[in-house]
Structure 1
Amino acid sequence: MASTTAIPVSGARMGVSQSFYFSIAERSYLDFLEKRKARDEAQKVLDGTVGEEIDEEERHEREYPYDLANGEASTAAVTTIVFCGMCLEAAIYDFAAWHLDDNYVKTYLDKLDLVAKWMVIPKLVAQQEIPAGFATHDHLRTLVVLRNSLVHYRSVPMPFDEADKLKKWTALNQKEEAIQDGCARAIKAVIFLSLDMDHIFSSHGVFNPLPSFREPSKYGTRTPRSHEVEKLVVECREILARSRSSA
């Protein structure tokens, strides 16, 4: 049941940046898809040369297109993840400060981690919360783990033992692959949260601080998204609909 508690509003705000951050994330996601496709095509070429006897220089020349595309895909994935995190940080701060006052937010809420902010602040504002069992929560946690692994990155000592060195390189490559695999999940974390915020606060008349992904036919116009992101929006909307119907 929707809460009937009066929701405080403090006033208009300057320097709102979440939509700008998401626009960077979206462009980076599209770049990631392009570079990942180029990487996969380069991998097919390499797979077709397995077993050929070639010298070291020729091997490097053949691997260069793969290495270049893979590096560019990782760069785009990192940018996507970091800016999705920045979008969510900016949005939840604005939402809290709008309704609860800047001094209160800075004193009591700003030091919470990003997951806690999105779980706690909507409940403080209107006794409504993001359902912890839904895909929203899972994707938000994944985004935070990936973002933290990037912004708090730590190098490791170079091992002298060749087997240990191979193990460390394998772990680093797996981490890079996890960053690339998390790119779409980062975008979906923003989409899920925005759709949930619309759903939770639709009866309150409360402004959603996140970029809008609502259906234009029902709620009016919104910023057009790329075809690739619109596909993710449809997927997220269907997942949330199934989760709510079974809750």
Structure 2
Amino acid sequence: MSAITHNVEFLVESHWARMNVLAWSYTDIAESAYDDYMVANENYVPLPEDDDPTEHFESHKNILESSFKTIVFSAMACEAAIFDLAAIQLGDDYAEKYLDKLDIVGKWVVVPKLICGKPLNISGPAINSLRELIHARNALVHHKSLPGLPDSELIRKADKQMSKIINRTDVAFKAVVLLSLELNRVLEVKTGALPFFEADMKSLTEERHSKRIWDVIHRCRKIDADNAIP
């Protein structure tokens, strides 16, 4: 059996003009929360043996709240961005009727390929980070508490339950940056579905990011560059 090759031209829109776009706002909230999370971790107050534990509990609360906001708003940014992208490039009717039924990872895999014939790397750092982010988001959205008056086994279970969420905070914001970088690289245009994190767009965002966030962005740029196929 012989194979038939079809040559197809793809038209990729280079604008992102839509109303009520929220992906950038969600990203800003996630970034601010992630910066707060890193500060809270740097200033963590351990539980004292004999002194007043108030500062410890306040410190722990800051870590939890900033972690949860980072995870939830990062996921919201990714969800909103991929719909905006599909609607701009493929049409609102097509996006709502056929693509909106997919889960968020499926959307990020399918939509770029429909637009330009090339998918994001399904085993690459951006999609893998998105998978971890969605696991953490789902763990928060569908969270189930544990019995009170716990024994030592329940305490270990509770600590493990919360640690699995908190430990994905770093990857949550990185998922947004990595997806933006890989998407723009694959489509060969700055789509605007998510904020820009490329080095040549530094002038647009230089004053918006803290030194901690800049370090994360630089690491993500290197990860994306290493993942790029020559």
Tell whether the 8 Å contact from 1:74 to 1:176 is kept in structure 2 after alignment: no
Q: Which residue of 1 aligns with 2:204?
A: 222
Q: Which residue of 1 aligns with 2:9?
A: 5
Tell whether the 8 Å contact from 1:197 to 1:208 is kept in structure 2 after alignment: no
Distance in 1 separating the partners of 2:195 and 2:16: 19
3-state SS of paired residue (2:28) = helix
Q: Which residue of 2 aligns with 1:68?
A: 58
3-state SS of paired residue (2:204) = coil
Q: Measured at CA, do residues 130 and 8 of structure 1 come closer, stay the same or move farther in structure 2, by a change above 3 Å?
A: closer
The Cα offsets for residues 67-94 of structure 1, whole Å up to 9 and x where unpaired, read as 2211111100000100000111110000
Q: What is the Cα deviation at residue 4 of structure 1?
A: 6.0
Q: Identity across aligned pairs (percent)?
A: 29
Distance in 2 separating the partners of 1:89 and 1:23: 15
Q: Measured at CA, do residues 8 and 137 of structure 1 come closer, stay the same or move farther in structure 2, by a change above 3 Å?
A: closer
Q: What is the Cα deviation at residue 190 of structure 1?
A: 0.5
Q: Which residue of 1 aligns with 2:107?
A: 117
Tell whether the 8 Å contact from 2:90 to 2:115 is kept in structure 1 after alignment: yes
Structure 1 unpaired stretches of 5+? 50-58
Q: Which residue of 1 aligns with 2:155?
A: 169
Distance in 2 separating the partners of 1:89 and 1:192: 14
- The one-letter amino acid paired with 2:166 is Q
Return the index of the structure with the highest Cα Rg: 1
Structure 2 unpaired stretches of 5+? 1-6
Q: Measured at CA, do residues 8 and 133 of structure 1 come closer, stay the same or move farther in structure 2, by a change above 3 Å?
A: closer
- The one-letter amino acid paired with 1:71 is K
Q: Measured at CA, do residues 227 and 4 of structure 1 come closer, stay the same or move farther in structure 2, by a change above 3 Å?
A: farther
Quick check: 207-216 or 5-14, which moved more? 5-14
Identify which of 139, 144, 156 aligns with 2:129.
Answer: 139
Tell whether the 8 Å contact from 1:213 to 1:222 is kept in structure 2 after alignment: no
Distance in 1 separating the partners of 2:227 and 2:16: 35
Number of residue pairs aligned between Structure 1 and Structure 2: 221
Q: CA RMSD in A?
A: 2.4
Q: Which residue of 1 aligns with 2:3?
A: none
Q: What is the Cα deviation at residue 31 of structure 1?
A: 1.1
Quick check: 220-229 or 193-202, which moved more? 220-229
Identify which of 140, 143, 168 aligns with 1:153.
Answer: 143
* TM-score, scaled relative to structure 1: 0.81
Tell whether the 8 Å contact from 2:126 to 2:179 is kept in structure 1 after alignment: yes
User: After TM superposition, which residue ranges in structure 1, 4 or more long, deviate above 3 angstroms?
Assistant: 8-12
The Cα offsets for residues 85-134 of structure 1, whole Å up to 9 and x where unpaired, read as 01111100000011112222122111211111100111111111111222
Distance in 2 separating the partners of 1:15 and 1:100: 18
Distance in 2 separating the partners of 1:226 and 1:206: 23
